[in-house]
Amino acid sequence: MPRSTTPKKKGAPKRLEISRIGAQGDGISHGADGDIYVPFTATGDVVDVWLEPGPRGTMRASLEAIVTPGVDRAEPSCRHFGSCGGCSLQHLTTDAYAGFVRDRVKTALSQHGLGDVPIEAPHISPPGSRRRLALKALRTSRGVLLGFNQRQSHHLVDVKECPIARPALVALLKPLRAVLGDLLTLRAGLDITLTDSDSGIDLLISGRVSLDLARREALATFAESYDLASVHVLDDGFLDPVSVRRAPKMRFGEVDAPLPPGGFVQATKEGETALLEAILEWTAGATHCADLFAGIGTFSLPLARHSTVHAVEGARAAVEALRKAVHGTQSLKQVTLDHRDLFRRPLVVHELNRFGAVIIDPPRAGAAAQMTELARSAVPAVIAVSCNPNTFARDARLLVDGGYDLVCVRPVDQFLWSPHVELVAHFLKTA
Ligand SMILES: C[S@@+](CC[C@H](N)C(=O)[O-])C[C@H]1O[C@@H](n2cnc3c(N)ncnc32)[C@H](O)[C@@H]1O
């Protein structure tokens, strides 16, 4: 039975039937008094719950018992399911989970009058494929905890297994817990980011760390014993390269790009490949492309084999990484770089109109200012990658109102068993 914060139990639990899964991944029961949200349930489940008031007049419930499981329910594989905040949908069958991903995109589009847009079958990254883990470490009176926050709480779940992550990352959890013991104080926790780059694993430790010689040596020995590519410590804005045995890098097509510590990577190689396939298919024939929010060149570098690319990115470290990747690579068409804040200074219509296709992959907030300019442009094709269906749908409406046809949307889910859904979409200028 999943553990969650249980409200005070008075009287008898209430019996409910779950009719659908909401955008945040909770099961929803439609009652006479409105919707009741029940975490860790599946459509068709009949459950006993304890009720408590939720935000904005909603009712929340914690699960007491599953009376009759619905047909969408599967056995979760991870021992931490129900306490760890990472995977709230691991109890769904493969089909039910794919249906959730699709519905999540459809609901967001419908809210902006785009409910009729064709949504392709979701691409879902398999278990064991996540190549970055963003963990927290804490020293408690019971020892060192290393893991993820409990759902909707600051309590840390000490993670012993993680079926979504690459096995090489999971194998590091136990020895890492031991080496962190010496770095942690009782007062402050640390953020730990493990990234399985294409040259090996980078360990980034962020927080207050007093690195004397002994601790520095312990981290270097750890890096050597477990063949890490590198260990960095980020303390008060200062990045300390404690051990760099191999510079972390990512391979895009035939080109290697250096990966700045903590720099953005698509969460799985499988998801990245699915996004890139769509981008290459939908930009075919375009000889001049722009890649907006380009990162270290995940899309720019493979695209530059067929087309000139104007890559625009706001993080200086990412722009420099892409510059190094392009420098000295003969096989690419021309790649130009623009270090620019696209929220404040989007590419304007006359800058956009020279491109045959524009790829845009903003952060979760979306890119309303840039989409407003694109909507007014004559760019024939826009390919939008998004990690937030809500801001995507809002921005898609801007393009559609500007004379673009939203040809199709392909969900690309890189955060297996979580309500976090990504997608790639194809727009063509028609008017
Ligand atoms: C979702 S990531 C995509 C990166 C890249 N397309 C990839 O697939 O690796 C979003 C990128 O937008 C950049 N970014 C965030 N805010 C920005 C802004 N205001 N202007 C320009 N770039 C920004 C981030 O640094 C990050 O590289």
Q: Give me the residue spans of the domains in the chain.
A: 1-71, 99-126+265-429, 132-249
Q: What is the pLDDT of residue 210?
A: 84
250 lines ligand 1 (CB under 6 A): no
Of 168, 420, 164, 130, nearest in space to 269 by CA:
130
226 lines ligand 1 (CB under 6 A): no
Q: What is the pLDDT of residue 186?
A: 63
What does the DSSP 8-state code read for residue 381?
Answer: E
Classify domain 1-71 by CATH number: 2.40.50.140
Q: Is the pLDDT of residue 158 over 80?
A: yes
Quote the CA–CA distance of 65 and 45 in Å, as a whole number: 10
In the structure, what pLDDT confidence band is assigned to residue 34 with cuts at 50, 70 and 90? Answer: confident
295 lines ligand 1 (CB under 6 A): yes
Q: Which residue has the higher pLDDT, 62 or 372?
A: 372
Q: Is the pLDDT of residue 141 over 90?
A: no
Tell me the per-residue pLDDT of 216-259, one tens digit each, with 9 for 90 and over.
Answer: 999 999 999 999 999 999 999 999 999 999 999 999 988 999 99
Q: Is the pLDDT of residue 8 over 60?
A: no
- Give residue 327's Cα distance to chain centre: 29
Burial class (CB in 10 A: 0-12, 13-18, 19+), 44: middle
Average pLDDT of the segment spanning 77-89: 92
Classify domain 99-126+265-429 by CATH number: 3.40.50.150
366 lines ligand 1 (CB under 6 A): no
Expressed in angstroms and rounded, the spacing between residue 237 Cα and the centre of ligand 1 is 20
Active-site positions? 387
Average pLDDT of the segment spanning 348-358: 98
Of 218, 220, 192, nearest in space to 205 by CA:
192
58-62, 227-231, 324-328, 362-366: which range is least confident on average?
58-62
Residues making up the annotated binding site for S-adenosyl-L-methionine are: 266, 293, 313, 361
* Mean of all residue pLDDT scores within the chain: 93
Tell me the per-residue pLDDT of 274-321, one tens digit each, with 9 for 90 and over.
Answer: 999 999 999 999 999 999 999 999 999 999 999 999 999 999 999 999
Expressed in angstroms and rounded, the spacing between residue 271 Cα and the centre of ligand 1 is 17
Q: What is the pLDDT of residue 400?
A: 98
157-166, 178-187, 340-349: which range is least confident on average?
178-187
Architecture of the 132-249 domain: Beta Barrel (2.40)
Average pLDDT of the segment spanning 398-420: 97
Expressed in angstroms and rounded, the spacing between residue 314 Cα and the centre of ligand 1 is 7
Expressed in angstroms and rounded, the spacing between residue 385 Cα and the centre of ligand 1 is 11
Q: What is the pLDDT of residue 4?
A: 46
300 lines ligand 1 (CB under 6 A): no
Instruction: Answer yes or no: same fold for 1-71 and 99-126+265-429.
Output: no
Residue to mutate, 293, 386, 392, ligand 1, most ligand atoms under 8 Å from C-beta: 293
Quote the CA–CA distance of 396 and 65 in Å, as a whole number: 42
Q: Which two tokens stand for residue 234?
A: 């980020």
